[in-house]
Each structure stands twice: as structure tokens, then as C-alpha cells.
Amino acid sequence: MSQRVVVLGGGPAGDVAALRAAQLGAQTTLIERAELGGTCLNWGCIPTKSLLAGADLLRKIRNAADFGIKVPEPVIDFPRMMQRKEENVLKMRNGVSAACKRHKVDVVRAQGIVDGDAVAAGGARYEYDHLIVCTGTEPSGLPDVDMEHPCVVTSNGILRLEKLPEHLLVIGGGVVGCEFASLFIALGARVTVVEMLPQILAGVDSRIVQQFRRFVEKEGIVFYAGRTLASVDYTERSVTAHLDDGTNIDADLMLISVGRRAQTRGIGLEDAGVVVDERDHVVVDEMLQTANPHIWGAGDCIGGLQLAHLGSAEGGRAVENALQHTVMPMDRTVVPSCIYTHPEIAMVGHNPETAKQAGIDVKTGQARYLGNGKALGEGEPDGIAQLYANATTDQLVGATVMGVHAVEIIHEVGVAISDGLTMDDLGAVIHAHPTVSELIMDSAEQGEGVAPYLS
């Protein structure tokens, strides 16, 4: 008799877990209270990138004269942008649904509650041999902010806007906050970002962040770093934010982008012997197993980097471990992180700051977009690629790329790190010319002191 796998949560981690379980011959049930695809497909990666693609196209149209193409000032049809975003979401969601049907995954659309050796959902009990918990996260609010006010939104609510704001105030200068800032500045709104830490985009190479700020400040984004929100005054159609240094900011829309909280409470996990920590994260070991040997965790709800692709990898790994198929610990050594601002930022492995914390002395190789023929041809000269290698062994340990196509070209560095290549090895790989990808070869050669144009 095939094993019974129940997956709780139908986001990127849960979808992959369910499909992988079915591939391995398990009788699989996927329980999702809302829409298949989770936050990534419905409220995150897919809808925001659809909107950001429109913003990038708008930038190109506005700069068309530089290419010898004269066009009138474009008119923004914001409702159509939002409609297109929903069309793309629906296509992707239907794809997930079709995959589940194809693999004979039983999809249950109801709230699931863990009840002993089963999950209760929709008036039925679904018994399991293995339960994979992939319940994800939801946007956090701020306790002293009226989160129900019509001028206050989270990253969910901002995707339901019916009209463009005149002045968007973003509280939180992390990845999500900066992506929405990049979107709305292109669409013509005034944008102000407040971040309580000294640096926006915490975790990114500080030198890259400094350059990034210079680029986006030229577009008009105003940053207040190292500042906190002291209080907020509300009117029917606006808010006034008072910062701790006495600065007052008036805006007609305030986006609260201060992180996300796991959706793990009140669904019976603790009663089933699962440990949920003080940050509401499901505690798992390196095999993704909880304190209950029949329950496993994957995705954002277990903490760590909140990335759809990492969640998918964890979902697949949890199922393979549960079903005793290629049992392995979860390896997070090479996990690319991408920020879809303009310019884009992509990272993998260490940067100099995290390497130092890990006791690794690094050397850096770098190349600037300004010297890349393909980037110049596309009218995107802003950016830099940096590779980091162990100064003693020359083995690659990380990279940060900022500029056009950064999120596409970061992966070859991930492969190089995974394969144990040195900076010299990567620089010796012939890259096609002209391509933006050449920046990786150029960075490696520059770090080795042999780049024809840079050394």
C-alpha cells in the first residue's frame, strides 16, 4: 500500500512537495485554504514582477529618443496594468492546478487543522503517514499604526490599488519596500522610504547599496535611513508620519513593509508535538523533520531566507526524506537572492561582510557595466559585478551583481561555487561577446590581475 502524504499549504513549497510526493508514488492530498501558488504566485513574485516589467518598459519608452526613436509622452493606464498582472497570475495558478490534476494530487480547498494523525479540513479528516507543513507567511503590520485605514496598506493591499498614489511613503527599506519604491517612482508617484536600520537592503554588500542609492535617488526616491516611525496622524485621504528625529512626511498612501510572520499558530501543530519558536517558525532539523517524526516543514514557515525557490527546494527535499528516497540534509550553501529594483541586484553565497563573519579572508574581482558593450547598447550603463574568492585558495565563495539582467546571470556563479571552481577557473571560461554575462568573466579576470582592459 502506498504511503499517505498530506501537504498543508499550497504555495511554492507545498505545491512542489505534493507533486514530488505523487511522483514518488505516494497517495497525496494538498490542503490549501486560499489559492494554489501561495504568496509568491498570488501576492508576491509573479504579480509584482508583472508590474515591474511595465515600469521597465515605461522607462525604455521615455528614453527612446536616445535610441533615435521619437515617441510622444506615454499615457499610463494603471487599471490595465493591474488587469494584466491578474491575467498572468491566473495563467500561472491554472498551471499549478493542471499539474496537480495530471499527477492525481487530491486538492482540498479548506482551512486545515492538524488533529492527531490526520488533518481536518472541509468537514473531513485526511489521515497521513507523513505531513509536510508549508503554511507560509503573511505581511506583518505595526502595532501603533491603524492597519485598517484606507491610506495604509501592506504588500498585499498595494496590489489591489485602483489608482496611482501621488505620494507613496514606504515604511521599511528591505527588498519588498525597495521593489515597490522602484515601481511607483517609474509610474510618476513621489516616493519616500523610511528604514530604521542604518542601511537599506540589509544583508547586501554595503558598497553595492551605496551605489544603488545614488542611482535610484537620481530617479527621485527619497530615503530616511536610521529613522523610526514615532506616530501617525490620519485624515480621510492622507496620513502624516512623524519620525523620531522630528521629520514630518505627508502622503496619500503608506505601505507598511516591515517583514512577514509565519502562519503556524492555531492549527494544531503544538498539540501534535511540533515545536513552534518565539518567532512562530516551525522548528526542523537539517533533514527538515520536526520533533514529531511524521511531520516535516518547508518554506517560509520554518524561517531563514524567505525565497520561493528555496521553499520549493525544501518542499521537494522534505518529501524525499520522508519517503526515504535519496535521504539528504538540506543544503543551503548556494541559494541565489534577487531584488527586482531598477537596477536589479542579485547575490549568491558570501559577500565581504558575511565572509569576514565566517572567518574567510576574501579577494574581490569586479567589472563595471559602463565598460560592457551589450549594456551600453541597451542603454543600461549603471551597475557593477563583483566576485568574491577565498584569498588563500582562490575558491569562489560568492558574488553580488547590480545592473540590467543581474537576476539572470547570477546563476553561473552559483554553479561555479557548487562545483568548487576558483576565480581563475571561471575567468578562463570563454564568454560570448557582446553579452552582459561577460561581466562575470571580466570580474574574474580582474580579480586575477589578467583582465586585458581592467588590470
Active-site residue set: 433
- For residue 339, give the nearest of 123, 176, 105, 122 by alpha carbon: 176
Torsion sign (Cα): 165, 169, 173, 176: negative
β-strand pairing of 229-234 with 130-133: unpaired
Give CA–CA dist 160/43, Å, rounded.
10
Helices (H) and strands (E) in the chain, counts: 13, 23
Task: Answer yes or no: are the C-beta atoms of 268 and 274 closer than 8 Å.
Answer: no
Terminal Cα distance for the chain, rounded: 65
Between CA 348 and CA 356, with CA 352 as vertex, the angle to 5 degrees is 115
Residue with cell 523610511: 194
Residue 368 C-alpha cell reads as: 563595471
Sign of CA dihedral 397, 402, 403, 405: positive
158: closest CA among 177, 133, 142? 177
Question: The cell 519596500 sits on which residue?
Answer: 177
Distance CA 10, CA 18 (A): 8
Cis check for the bond before 434: say yes or no (omega within 30 of 0). yes
Give 284-303 as a DSSP string.
--TTSB-SSTTEEE-SGGG-
Q: 190: buried, middle or exposed (CB in 10 Å: 19+, 13-18, 0-12)?
A: middle
3-state DSSP call for residue 434? Answer: coil
How far apart CA 19 and CA 22 sit, in angstroms, is: 5
* Closest by CA position to 37, among listed 57, 71, 13: 13
Please, what's the b/e burial string for 67-84 (b: 16 or more CB within 10 A of its CB; e: otherwise)?
A: eeeeeeeeeeeeeebbeb
